[in-house]
Structure formats: C-alpha cells, structure tokens
Amino acid sequence: MTVIIRKRRPTAPGEILIESILRPRGISISRFAEAVGCSRKHMSDIVNGKVRVEGNMAARIGKVLGTSAQVWINLQAAVDGFEAERAMRRWKPRMTFPPMDQAA
C-alpha cells in the first residue's frame, strides 16, 4: 500500500467555486447564495474557507451548477484529510497493527 504525503494543502471547495466558476461567469456571491438558498454571509464564509461544505450544501451547489454533490464533498474531504494529518504529525500511537494485506 502506497501512502501519499501531501506537502501542499488541497484547494478548498470555496476557492474553486469563486475562482473557477463564479468570478469567470460574473456571478456575485450574493446572487449565488440566493440560487442555493442560503445567506450571503454563509456563502462568503464558504468561499473564504471559514466554514466547511457539508452534505446538504454540497447537494444544493451541485444542483445549481449541474454537478453532483459528491464533487463538492470530495473536495472538502481532501482538505479535511490534509488538516487532520497535519494536526497529527507529532502524535505517536501507543501501538500499531500491520495493514490487512500484510497480516497473517
């Protein structure tokens, strides 16, 4: 099993949303927030990486943009995984177990 260690934080879903979708199309955060049914502040917090894109919001964004919710969930999961691994760098487990393909 190969473990990939990321050195760079994955791009957050909000950053992709603003840089690759909203800004190039001239869609304001307010207008997009209205389309997905949330406040401008909440959408601004998503775009600025202050709040996570949860399942319900991922589904709304997907429906408005014609993508799946899974796209936005996966983007958020990549950021979450990176942050979790970074937070655990100094933590040492009390014991470890071999991977399943090496057991027995």
- What's the fold here for domain 13-87? 434 Repressor (Amino-terminal Domain) (1.10.260)
Whether the CB-CB separation of 53 and 75 falls below 8 Å is answered with yes
Per-residue pLDDT, 6? 65
CA distance 99 to 78: 22
What are the sequence ranges of the domains in the chain? 13-87
Q: Supply the mean pLDDT for the chain.
A: 93
Residue-wise burial string across 61-85, b where 16 or more C-beta atoms lie within 10 A, e elsewhere: bbeebeeebeebbebbebbeeeeee
Q: Which amino acid is at 64?
A: V
Q: pLDDT of 15-47, one tens digit each?
A: 999 999 999 999 999 999 999 999 999 999 999
What's the pLDDT band for 102 if we cut at 50, 70, 90?
A: low
